[in-house]
Structure 1
């Protein structure tokens, strides 16, 4: 499947976005097409590897439906947005002037529209003041023409293109109908109010876009390296793994890496949402997107820019809109049926009563039918719903929580249970040796056997044992290292077999393991078929784990701990954290079974799983909502996850649920408010208690309020 992405420059109408997506989806060669109105992004998925035919068809459709919208390669978006430009795009009949976009105030960019609306307003005011009927009618018509000439042009053009349910055409018919009925001043006033409302709506959308776009400003513009003895600025994409980059005070780290010299404080808030500075020194691991607060540090690059923390965040936020929530899909389907249904009702309202009450009242019922036409546009829903999800995702990212799409946001809001891995999630995952208990050999010998066996693993337990050994491990002396997932490790050391891990691993090989009791993690060691003793390790519980469990309980979310540790260790950790349900001695496949069992017990409500290790990836992928600890977590776990916690803090889980629930609450508010006002005005209009002014408010005014309400999703 090939994915082609376009930037629809000048797209400023949600209905236009809907129409474009529907027409492109009708193409035989297209698997699916989605338009992200917020990002002005068109994503086309197709099986044909040659994009030439797709490109031609897409441009033809967009040019037919919206000739003033430019179709550009999405990679050109940043380049265009950084330049001063002046353009006029007709959208639903309203001329939106977007010169100075992303560079100057909206007031400047809409100067022409504001000037002509003021002029139209003066003409309208004169039509109401002058005492002569004919001049007043002429002035009212002039006010109508000045305010709405672009609506008329767009309506006629759309009619020729067969777009019968376009908002501009509906507004044109409604106002021309008012003129035909002799309501000159009302037609002018309604058109003026409609256009001013569209202007305010357009400004609100642009401000929302700019607010959301700030999330994408993490990308660094350059990286400093020493080349030919001179300090040089190059693009972060051109830096190679192993290069040394220089980061001065006040600059943002362009790439991930390890500090090789210098000491400083880092502002990590852009990545983790935490505002307290973090101290770093030689050997510290640092992430791109963080800001160096003091001095100069030299950093050895550990990955290419495309794999860095910044690139990962940008990719998730940029592509979040591709995973649409069920609510968004419903609104899209609803909008396709809603407008034609309202138009049909308008026709019936204008005609049917006349058969019963007499055609002498046709003028009255025609006017009421025209009100339905004005109300029919579903802009309030089509704009505000995706904008609400996008703002919610953006707000979560500012708190260090990356949500991969509206679908995940919606599922998280309904989450009823969260299962968590213990090591590295609820605990720090950095073990320390509590005791070394040999059997028949010295402590030093026992630690040596364990360290050489664990030298082939990057598990936190293995790293802790190797650190405690603190001597050079000669790799030539260790052979045939095999890691047995969930059990331990085996190898050949100096020609003899070593087994290192759980008691079950040794017992399977016929080695007798004495009964040992400890609340800490135990690693048993056997050499050449003989039991050599055990090492106990303690894993410190994260400071925020207990609070996270308490907050989840307040949210009505059940917390479950899954761990491969022994029953006694798991019980002690669960008791300390206040977690009532836990499962111990689990292998990776057992964790999947427990998640499936938990999902069956929740009556269809989503279940989340949070983990950090490679062995957690299958469980993260299987859960309804997979949560990965992003800062220290493995790339495989992050790839499988729906949500990534950049600060590795489990307290971010209840925070993310809170953000998702607020987002869904606001989305539902917009749906209820928009539909409630529209249906109420329709009813009042049908009964003769509403005029054109109220009808226009039900269209443009409601959309504006819904847009402003959606932006509350970004605050938490």
Structure 2
């Protein structure tokens, strides 16, 4: 299958029709015409000349054909048609001869309505009923009964309507394309002391690339030389730069702010986080939401139903109530125009595309419109604790020293260890400016800690088991019990029977967690639940500080799944985790949300991926999803409401062709403008 960019596609219904026609060709069975991204995916065996011919029937072409874009003929024809219409009105005012106005009205009708008329005529021969079919019947009928002015006005307004549809969709597409342009095109390869500019597709793992100030890092890698701040907004949505130096990982697509970096490539571009992000965003454009699928199914029955209603309006009053044939034939034509489902079909795609774009700018990857719609319905969010509400990094929350050598000994022993708890102790000792001394001998005691000889004396460091049968003194016992009641992990240092001091260590709660939970509740989330394998006392402590509605501690991965299922019985539930350990719970929830700052596992596991290393943008994502859902409901209500109002005018016989087209056009304008307001979300922040 090969992807081709197409131009001129401004109608969702037309995209479906083109897809159906191309799928009838030999080798075209798997063809996809993607309206939102303006692309077509074809099997390489399909006859491209036949494809071009089918596309041309809707004035669509392959961008790769290299034809110049040229002037916008529809706009030019509309200008000329409008001038002709004004000339016809002027002629009617100054002359009683009908021929001249009819000529001008005819010019306006032909220029504006010819493309629609020809499409509709082809559809009628195949008994296919769509927007063009309805308009063709209406224009033909208006001319047949001598309503030249009405025919011309309908043709012009319908042309303007098509132009507005095209503008709205192109605006949303351009916004998405701007987002996709973050991908770098070239890299400066550093080899044997020389530089060479190559395409990013030619990069291999372990290549060294040179990244100067203002340049994009071509692929995921690690800094091997240099120091700089890097703008990672394209990946994580974070506006603040991140400091990078030797040994630090970097993302492809991020921008070097100052200095020169030498980066060792760790992934080819196709394997990089940026490449996967862009692929996911592009795929997300074309996924259909349940609402969109319903609208498309509804439109299939709606158009034939409108034709039946139109026929009844034309026939029933004259046959049963002896009304004038001409008057009700005219009313029936107006009903056909009211029935155009343009606005209804546009109710969803522009809003969905805008919502996915806004979230992607914020570093939130939503893998499809269906997940965006699902997010707007979420009532309960379940959180994993470690790495989600907390940093996932132990740190010293309290310490008690009973001897002057406590910190010195702890620092000396832990410096030789890579254990996460050791790192927490080292960090605390460095904060205090602790003196460095050498360790003479060190031995690990499994499940207990470490014994070591420091400056000729033997010390023990670890949990309570490290002191064996030794009973801690009253003061030490009181501190140990207090730290444990607070849900902390205990690390103590002892010499013989004397406890020198105690560290209380816990997973550090993210500074933003409490604000995020509060904002989520403010945005309509009914309940927030924390699920963790940590001790219930630890869970309780984190729950109190973050403000979650409920918590469950000491539960295994399979028990998390059970809890999620229980929550699903009453509510729509989203689960947030790291995308690896929480995969079963993520899959069980109505919506799985992973956070992992671009890790492969996070991108592949969940329905939504938070590319930042925190939850900061989550309330925004919920807000955007709810705005999109509200916009779609308004759009559907407005498009159907205006049509119902116009149809009710048939009862007293007040419906005219120009009122009918204005009702459809007005609905299209409102639907387009309301949908595009989603793109303004970030600007209001």
**For the structure 1 residues 207 and 654, does the alpha-carbon distance in structure 2 shift closer, same or farther, using more than 3 Å as the test?**
closer
SS in structure 1 opposite 2:650?
helix
Aligned to 2:591: 625
Deviation at 1:31, TM superposition (A): 8.6
* More moved, 651-660 vs 131-140: 131-140
Confirm whether residue 607 of structure 1 aligns to residue 607 of structure 2. no
Q: Aligned match of 2:534 in 554, 565, 569?
A: 565
1:271-324, Cα deviation, whole Å (9 max, x unpaired):
322222222222322222222221222222222212223212211210003432
Confirm whether residue 329 of structure 1 aligns to residue 293 of structure 2. yes
Confirm whether residue 553 of structure 1 aligns to residue 521 of structure 2. yes
Q: If the length of structure 1 is used for normalisation, what is the TM-score?
A: 0.78
Q: Aligned match of 1:277 in 241, 263, 267?
A: 241
Aligned to 2:459: none
**For the structure 1 residues 685 and 112, does the alpha-carbon distance in structure 2 shift closer, same or farther, using more than 3 Å as the test?**
same
Q: Aligned match of 1:317 in 281, 287, 301?
A: 281
* More moved, 121-130 vs 364-373: 121-130
Contact map agreement 2:529 2:548 (CA 8 A) in 1: yes
Aligned to 1:12: 10
Confirm whether residue 578 of structure 1 aligns to residue 543 of structure 2. no
**For the structure 1 residues 71 and 174, does the alpha-carbon distance in structure 2 shift closer, same or farther, using more than 3 Å as the test?**
closer
Contact map agreement 1:521 1:566 (CA 8 A) in 2: no
**For the structure 1 residues 639 and 17, does the alpha-carbon distance in structure 2 shift closer, same or farther, using more than 3 Å as the test?**
same
Confirm whether residue 678 of structure 1 aligns to residue 660 of structure 2. no
Contact map agreement 1:625 1:642 (CA 8 A) in 2: yes
Deviation at 1:562, TM superposition (A): 1.1
SS in structure 2 opposite 1:356?
helix
Aligned to 1:594: 563
Contact map agreement 1:612 1:634 (CA 8 A) in 2: no
Deviation at 1:618, TM superposition (A): 1.9
Aligned to 2:178: 214
1:327-354, Cα deviation, whole Å (9 max, x unpaired):
1111111111111111110011101111
SS in structure 1 opposite 2:57?
coil
1:165-205, Cα deviation, whole Å (9 max, x unpaired):
13223212212212222212221122122223322332333
Deviation at 1:707, TM superposition (A): 1.5
1:606-639, Cα deviation, whole Å (9 max, x unpaired):
21111115212222222111111131x6422331
**For the structure 1 residues 30 and 203, does the alpha-carbon distance in structure 2 shift closer, same or farther, using more than 3 Å as the test?**
closer
Counterpart-to-counterpart distance in 1, 2:292 and 2:463: 49
Counterpart-to-counterpart distance in 2, 1:182 and 1:396: 53
Aligned to 2:674: 709
Q: Aligned match of 1:149 in 94, 114, 138?
A: 114
Contact map agreement 2:561 2:588 (CA 8 A) in 1: yes
The Cα RMSD (Å) is: 3.8
Larger radius of gyration: 2
Aligned to 2:127: 162
Aligned to 1:357: 321
Aligned to 2:454: none
Counterpart-to-counterpart distance in 2, 1:366 and 1:62: 39
Deviation at 1:24, TM superposition (A): 6.5
1:192-239, Cα deviation, whole Å (9 max, x unpaired):
222233223323332332123211111111111113532222122221
**For the structure 1 residues 151 and 396, does the alpha-carbon distance in structure 2 shift closer, same or farther, using more than 3 Å as the test?**
same
**For the structure 1 residues 286 and 65, does the alpha-carbon distance in structure 2 shift closer, same or farther, using more than 3 Å as the test?**
closer
Q: If the length of structure 2 is used for normalisation, what is the TM-score?
A: 0.82
Counterpart-to-counterpart distance in 1, 2:524 and 2:615: 17
* More moved, 114-123 vs 247-256: 114-123
Contact map agreement 1:620 1:637 (CA 8 A) in 2: no
SS in structure 2 opposite 1:282?
coil
Q: Aligned match of 1:662 in 614, 622, 627?
A: 627
| Equivalences for residues 309-458 of structure 1 within 5 A | 309-358=273-322, 361-432=324-395, 451=418
Deviation at 1:395, TM superposition (A): 0.8
Contact map agreement 1:120 1:192 (CA 8 A) in 2: no
Which runs of 5 or more structure 1 residues have no equivalent in the other structure? 45-50, 87-98, 101-106, 455-459, 472-476, 482-487, 491-500, 505-513, 526-532
| Equivalences for residues 281-300 of structure 1 within 5 A | 281-300=245-264
1:546-589, Cα deviation, whole Å (9 max, x unpaired):
00111122223211111111111111111111223111112222
**For the structure 1 residues 394 and 109, does the alpha-carbon distance in structure 2 shift closer, same or farther, using more than 3 Å as the test?**
farther
**For the structure 1 residues 215 and 65, does the alpha-carbon distance in structure 2 shift closer, same or farther, using more than 3 Å as the test?**
closer
1:136-181, Cα deviation, whole Å (9 max, x unpaired):
2233223322332223333323333432x13223212212212222
Which runs of 5 or more structure 2 residues have no equivalent in the other structure? 402-408, 430-435, 438-442, 450-461, 466-476, 493-500
Deviation at 1:8, TM superposition (A): 4.3
Aligned to 1:235: 199
* More moved, 152-161 vs 658-667: 152-161
